[in-house]
Amino acid sequence: MRTLLVIGIGTGNPEHVTIQAIRALNTVEVVFALDKGREKADLVALRREICARYLTERPYRFVEAQDPERDRNPSDYGATVEAWHAARAALYEAMFERELGADGTGAILVWGDPSLYDSTLRIIDRILERGRLAFQVRVVPGVTSVQALAAGHRIPLNRIGAPILITTGRQIADGLPEGADTTVVMLDGHPRFDHLDPDLTIYWGAYLGTADEILIAGRLGDVAAEIGAVREAARARHGWIMDTYLLRARLRDALTSPAT
């Protein structure tokens, strides 16, 4: 039976790749990747670099296909993502069937970790549910941007006994949940901070773990404009940006909140 490995590769630093991931890679004959266009060519190039560096024990093929387009500012977000996942599932299914032998092993290299705000495992489940193509799946975890952010700023993610909320920019468009102590925000394509308490502390990072890493921290009201300007300049320079940030309530607010 075909085997598909879904391997977390960290946030852009080839040294994030774990020993477990390297061992898994060296059982692979085909690596599958979706090309997101010229602006994000660096993302495919990094995957190729990881394979060249670590996949040394056997010959392999690197197979690319064009990632299906999707509307980044849809009127119906759920329906748009559903259609995009369906298109990706059909594309991957065709690639697996065409490129992977009946007993072959292939891999998809996932930015960060496959379990945290990534669609790959849902798309793989969709293919399996169709029942046209049988294969087994193994998942190898990776370093996440959340871990890299905390490491870059030299902070623990949580305060003693306090919860952490990991969410998206879309989910905090109307503000943070009442009583939130530490909130990690991912996938925020257009961050804005003017609706948030300026006395929050923010720890922001982009291109985490790479040579291009940018870190800014401070009182939100003092550094929000700087983050916006630095972010736009970096996006223009690279053609893309991946950033994550952590918002932390003032300690006295956290201690007096009814949620704690």
Residues 54 and 22 in one domain: yes
**Range scoring the smallest mean pLDDT among 40-49, 97-106, 114-123, 241-250:** 40-49
pTM to 2 decimals? 0.89
Same domain, 123 and 176: no
Does 61 share its domain with 28?
yes
Q: Which of the listed residues 140, 164, 186 is the one where a domain comes to its end?
A: 140
Q: Residues 175-200: pLDDT tens digits?
A: 999 999 999 999 998 898 999 999 99
Residue 257: band (very low, low, confident or very high) from pLDDT cuts 50, 70, 90: low
What confidence score (pLDDT) does residue 259 get?
Answer: 46
Domain count, the chain: 2
Whether 46 and 11 have beta carbons less than 8 Å apart is answered as no
pLDDT by residue (tens digit) across 60-109?
999 999 988 877 777 788 888 899 899 999 999 999 999 999 999 999 99
Backbone angles phi, psi at 104, to 5 degrees: -85, 165
Contact (CB, 8 A) for 260 and 240: no
Out of 118, 140, 162, pick the residue that ends a domain: 140
The CATH number assigned to the domain holding 90 equals 3.40.1010.10
Comparing CA positions, the residue from 148, 34, 43, 140 lying closest to residue 87 is 34
In the predicted structure, residue 47 carries a pLDDT above the cut 50: yes
Same-domain pairing of 116 and 49: yes
Name the residue with higher pLDDT: 260 or 232.
232
37 & 162 share domain:
no
What is the CATH classification number for the domain harbouring 243? Answer: 3.30.950.10
Residues 135 and 150 both lie in one domain: no
125 contact partners, CB below 8 Å, separation of at least 6 = none
Question: Average pLDDT, whole number, for the chain?
Answer: 92
Which of 122, 140, 158 is where one domain is finished? 140
pLDDT tens, residue by residue, 138-176: 999 999 999 999 999 999 999 999 999 999 999 999 999
183: domain range?
Answer: 145-256
Confidence at residue 71, expressed as pLDDT on a 0 to 100 scale? 73
